Structure 1
Amino acid sequence: MNELSFMNHLSNENYLAHLQENLDHRKLLDENRNLNLSESSEQDFLELFFAMKIFEEGKQLSPHTIKAYRSDAKTLLDFLVEHSLSFRDIGFPEVKAYNRLINETYAVKSARRKLGFFQRLLDFGYETQFYKSHLSTWLTKPAVQKGHYIMEETRPNEELHRVPRRELSQADAQWLLTFFPKIVKAKKNREQLQKRNLLIGYLLYSTGLRASELLSLNWGSFRYSHQGHLFVDVIGKGKKQRTVPIRNEVKEVLFSYRKSTGDSTELNLEDQSPLFFALYNKEETPRKTKKRLTYPALYKIVKEAVELAGKNSKISPHWFRHTFVTVMLENDVPLAVIKDWAGHADISTTNVYLERVNQDKMHTHLDKADLF
């Protein structure tokens, strides 16, 4: 634990005093009481960067996000070690050299993330006078590919290929859902496992939830509106809350699953027990010690269903999210509504899907024209 992280557990009354004492002792405040790292050690600089810009107080990061940050930090450290550089040595030439390395080595998505991490570090350094110049202004991130396609990641010297985005047709998605309960081989808790798997498939397909959002659902996440419609409250990226409607078909599967596990079907906002939990074959799991289903377990369920259905082996849980957005657009649900349901930070993300959907409708419009 670093010297600052312990303060997260202090009361409001003690936090200011301890923070002042800590920074004063390390001589990290200037005459204006502002954070000044111009004379600090690199250890202080990195500790404060991670404490204030990465692992911020009150900000809960997913294991996937933490893993990505560690990867980005290691990539930067490897570059510095290879060139016998310290963080203090970073200037214009080093920024441009690292920028070029990342752009030439990684696919667009990974490159943008790694350069984003580097940019945050440089900006923090400039804000705290660790760096005298605004070095991040020299960074150039690769452009995001437009249209509802992704660029297949290839070796640096090979040509890039445009491949369809990772999604299913509506018919294929519905067909694949039927295999979620069929993969269960266990005899004990067989009915519960089948109903659980089916509900997982239904929720992935009909709500567009991210895998992490699905796994974090509790029974108390579900509630009725004043009109009697069922909704689920989701905690998404950046701990942003959104509400997603639940179709009646999914509602039936949800309550059927709850009945099979012996749990109450009465909605209770105070119930923080996990919706999806591990069902062991050897012994019954006490209700108070339910172990939330993990991503590897969810991934395995999807992969086994895909294999049994004889579908594309690359299909993962996230394909259903892409499928949901596209299917909603194909059924003329307003763009702004889908943005809110999917939890997109910016409507431009949702609009990427719309471009491909509109391409598919080109011939419908063309055939209406009396050309011949």
Structure 2
Amino acid sequence: MQKNSFQSLLQRFFLERLMKQQNVSPCTVSSYRDTFRIFLHFMKENKHCASSKITIEMLNAENVIEFLNYLELTRKNSIKTRNNRLAAIHSFVEYVSYQAPEYLGIIQRVRNVPFKKTQIKAVAYLIKGEVEAILDACDVNCWLGRRDLMMIAILYNTGVRVSELASIQKHQISLNRNGTSSLRILGKGRKERTIPIWKSTQQYIAEFLKETGSNDEDYLFSSKYG
């Protein structure tokens, strides 16, 4: 594999740039990996070029624009997803500009491919009565119903992302009788924040932990299959 081939540069971008030098989060690595996985598939299906034959010259502005159109029109991706894929490509070509400056002309044209503007919609929300109706709909006579009740209560209380909710481990919860209970969240970009827990939420969590055990490394939520 040539030092400055597309394949070699892409491998070093992930293993050296993202993981070792920048120490980005696993979510970022996964998102960037998916971008290039889809791009390789696009090149094979639309350009009849196997991944082993792709060159840096093929990562040109024309092919990038065609790839972005493919995301929107063929894969039916949102503009936000399109822009995320473009951000990954921009990050890669920036890395290439330092490793292989002979490609600066191609890189500059790719950098000039713009992000697409998105319409910012008003955030929809539920009023208190609607949330209470959802909580009341949970069947507390079964374990899954009690789990769902706690999930909704935590979402309502804290406003965490669904991905953050699913990744909560029991050691991230601090329950105190004096009303200072809290939940520690490691969020997007490795940003950590601590969120106060209401007494009602604390009660749901305490009862659930009593039922399921409190091994600190266990995830708070699990499926019916464990």
- Report the counterpart of residue 73 of structure 1 in structure 2: 36
Contiguous gaps of at least 5 residues in structure 2: none
- Report the counterpart of residue 125 of structure 1 in structure 2: 96
Per the TM alignment, residue 104 of structure 1 is displaced from its structure 2 partner at its CA by: 5.5
Matched, 1:138 2:96: no
CA distance change for structure 1 residues 135 and 53 in 2, over 3 Å: closer, same or farther? farther
Q: Deviations over 1:90-144 (max 9, x none)?
A: 3344444445555655421121112112212221211212622333331111112
Matched, 1:91 2:60: yes
- Report the counterpart of residue 231 of structure 1 in structure 2: 182
Aligned mate of 2:126, from 154, 162, 168:
168
Matched, 1:61 2:6: no
Aligned mate of 2:196, from 245, 268, 275:
245
CA distance in 1, matches of 2:60, 2:25: 32
CA distance in 1, matches of 2:219, 2:121: 37
**Letter matched to residue 254 of structure 1:** I
Per the TM alignment, residue 242 of structure 1 is displaced from its structure 2 partner at its CA by: 0.5
Per the TM alignment, residue 202 of structure 1 is displaced from its structure 2 partner at its CA by: 0.6
TM-score (norm 1): 0.49
Per the TM alignment, residue 207 of structure 1 is displaced from its structure 2 partner at its CA by: 0.9
CA distance in 2, matches of 1:103, 1:274: 36
Aligned mate of 1:181, from 112, 123, 139:
139
Contiguous gaps of at least 5 residues in structure 1: 1-25, 27-36, 150-164, 185-189, 265-269, 281-290, 292-372
Secondary structure, in 3 states, of the residue corresponding to 1:233?
Answer: strand
CA distance in 1, matches of 2:61, 2:148: 53
**Letter matched to residue 200 of structure 1:** M
Per the TM alignment, residue 243 of structure 1 is displaced from its structure 2 partner at its CA by: 0.6
The residue correspondences of 1:47-58 to structure 2 (distance < 5 A) are: 47-55=11-19
Secondary structure, in 3 states, of the residue corresponding to 2:137?
Answer: coil
Q: Deviations over 1:224-252 (max 9, x none)?
A: 68x75111111112222111110111111
CA distance change for structure 1 residues 219 and 59 in 2, over 3 Å: closer, same or farther? same
Instruction: State percent identity of aligned pairs.
Output: 21
Per the TM alignment, residue 208 of structure 1 is displaced from its structure 2 partner at its CA by: 1.1
Matched, 1:44 2:15: no
Residue correspondences, number: 214
Per the TM alignment, residue 49 of structure 1 is displaced from its structure 2 partner at its CA by: 1.6
- RMSD of aligned Cα (Å): 3.4
CA distance in 1, matches of 2:115, 2:56: 23
**Letter matched to residue 61 of structure 1:** P
CA distance in 2, matches of 1:169, 1:54: 42
